[in-house]
Amino acid sequence: MRRLLIFLLCLMVFFIFKIPSGFSISGPCSECHTMHNSQNGQPVAENGSSTQPFRALTIGDCVFCHTGTNTGTNNIPYVNSNTQPTYTFGGARNTLAGGNFYWVQSDDTKGHNVVGIAGVDSNIGLVPPGYDPSNYPEFTKYRPSTWDHQLTCAGNFGCHGKFDANDPSLNDPFKAISGAHHKNIVRTNGTAPATEVWNSYRFLWGIKGTEDPNYELNPDTTHHNGYYASTSPTDPASINYLCGECHGVFHRDTYNGTYASPWLRHPTDFDMNTVAYKEYGNYPNPTLFSGKLGVSAVGDYFADVPVGNTQGAVLSKVLQSSGDAIVLCLSCHRAHGSPYPDLLRWDYSACQAGSPSADCGCLACHTSK
């Protein structure tokens, strides 16, 4: 009897923990694949007017499938749009957590210039600002020693999927991401292993965190991503490390000697609990941001000026304990693009010392400036 009970208990636990894998791709194969790219003698692939077949026999490339307008019911997350998305800092928008590539189509400064969306960045060129492939010598994950390709969605020269400087076949975004879509899980445990592309945060290989099931469409204090962060710039699973893979200098060389003020470059991987006695203890500045995305009191998580934590958890209250309010690259930037230069989350020109404005996100942390 007791054995039976234990067996039933194990079975229950198994199913409870098994459920997340049920979230992977559904729907008819033909919605996404074409076997020969031909039907009645006509091409099937729908990538604009293109008649070429695509890798993994899909009906289009990454950009094709991920272009559209988010309505809340679409099951492909749209990160690019051909009509201007709505976007209000601290308010309503139909863009997801990463923002949108729409703006970079016509202005190089407003997004990552990804192949198939925009040409090579006319100001920057190919190489990521701050690139230093030898910046992380203690790890075996390497980016190419010479950056001689335009940025792609995935692979050696892209953000998603696998990369390995010694394997040029991973220059191909489809190769780099192969198998991830069908195996995808919604990460609910921020520190669970991120060993493969499919179990990593948003197919960002090796990166941990908790995935908001709606990709932060309409976020508030309780509905948002949980960014995994660390107080060590060498932790390869943090969301800051991801940016550092390509912008290493901006990630690592932020200080001279002691990891404290006065800084050389804006700090990240820095826990605001250690300076909570200064103006940072007043994050997210309810005087300015009350009523925005559910913010009403000091310590409320403000999804438009996010901070990370060492559990990669979805916290609605921060500055409660050590390691729960870590500055991120994403505190200021969107990953894909925004209506503002440098992919910033808000209009930097609204930031004027002495005249506090709710259009300036810097003031969520610099609460007395």
Which positions from 194 through 233 interact with ligand HEC, judged by CB under 6 A?
A: 202-203, 211
**If binding is defined by CB under 6 A, does position 288 make contact with ligand HEC?**
no
Cβ atoms of 325 and 226 within 8 Å: the answer is no
- Short-list 81, 59, 60, 63, CA closest to 71: 81
Sole binder of ligand HEC in the list 212, 216, 245, 304 (CB under 6 A): 245
User: Which one, 170 or 246, has the nearer CB to ligand HEC?
Assistant: 246
User: Which one, 86 or 261, has the nearer CB to ligand HEC?
Assistant: 261
User: Which one, 93 or 366, has the nearer CB to ligand HEC?
Assistant: 366
Token output for 45: 């692939």
User: Which one, 12 or 232, has the nearer CB to ligand HEC?
Assistant: 232
Sole binder of ligand HEC in the list 44, 165, 192, 275 (CB under 6 A): 275
User: Which one, 9 or 121, has the nearer CB to ligand HEC?
Assistant: 121
- How does strand 152-154 pair with strand 158-160? parallel
Q: Which stretch binds ligand HEC (CB under 6 A): 216-224, 286-294, 316-324, 358-366?
A: 358-366
- How does strand 226-227 pair with strand 209-210? antiparallel
User: Which one, 61 or 300, has the nearer CB to ligand HEC?
Assistant: 61
Which positions from 318 through 347 interact with ligand HEC, judged by CB under 6 A?
A: 327, 329-333, 335, 342-344
Q: Which stretch binds ligand HEC (CB under 6 A): 14-22, 86-94, 188-196, 274-282?
A: 274-282
What is the distance between the alpha carbons of residues 175 and 161, in angstroms, rounded to a whole number?
A: 9
Interface size with ligand HEC, residues (CB under 6 A): 86
**If binding is defined by CB under 6 A, does position 246 make contact with ligand HEC?**
yes
User: Which one, 93 or 115, has the nearer CB to ligand HEC?
Assistant: 115
Q: How far is the CB of 321 from ligand HEC (least distance, A)?
A: 17
**If binding is defined by CB under 6 A, does position 112 make contact with ligand HEC?**
yes
Q: How far is the CB of 367 from ligand HEC (least distance, A)?
A: 10
Tell which phi-psi region holds residue 216, choosing left (phi > 0), alpha (psi between -120 and 50) or beta: left
Helix H or strand E encompassing 226: strand 226-227
Q: How far is the CB of 343 from ligand HEC (least distance, A)?
A: 5
Which positions from 52 through 91 interact with ligand HEC, judged by CB under 6 A?
A: 56, 58-62, 65-66, 75-77
CA angle 147, 149, 155 (to 5 degrees): 90
Q: How far is the CB of 224 from ligand HEC (least distance, A)?
A: 14
Q: Which stretch binds ligand HEC (CB under 6 A): 11-19, 223-231, 247-255, 289-297?
A: 247-255
Residues 6+ apart with CB under 8 A from 102: 80, 81, 82, 83, 84, 85, 337
- The runs of H, that is alpha helices, within 247-291 are 248-252, 286-289
Helix H or strand E encompassing 13: helix 2-18
Position 350, amino acid: A
Sole binder of ligand HEC in the list 97, 303, 361, 367 (CB under 6 A): 361
Which positions from 35 through 54 interact with ligand HEC, judged by CB under 6 A?
A: none
End-to-end alpha carbon distance in the chain: 67
User: Which one, 3 or 204, has the nearer CB to ligand HEC?
Assistant: 204
In order, the DSSP letters of 151-216 are: -EEESTTEEES---TT-GGGGSHHHHHTTHHHH-----STTS---STTTSGGG-TT--EE--TTTT
The single-letter DSSP state of residue 17 is H
Sole binder of ligand HEC in the list 169, 261, 296, 322 (CB under 6 A): 261
What is the distance between the alpha carbons of residues 131 and 151, in angstroms, rounded to a whole number?
A: 13
Helix H or strand E encompassing 5: helix 2-18
- Short-list 184, 199, 197, CA closest to 23: 184
Which positions from 121 through 160 interact with ligand HEC, judged by CB under 6 A?
A: 121, 124, 128-130, 151, 153-154, 158-160
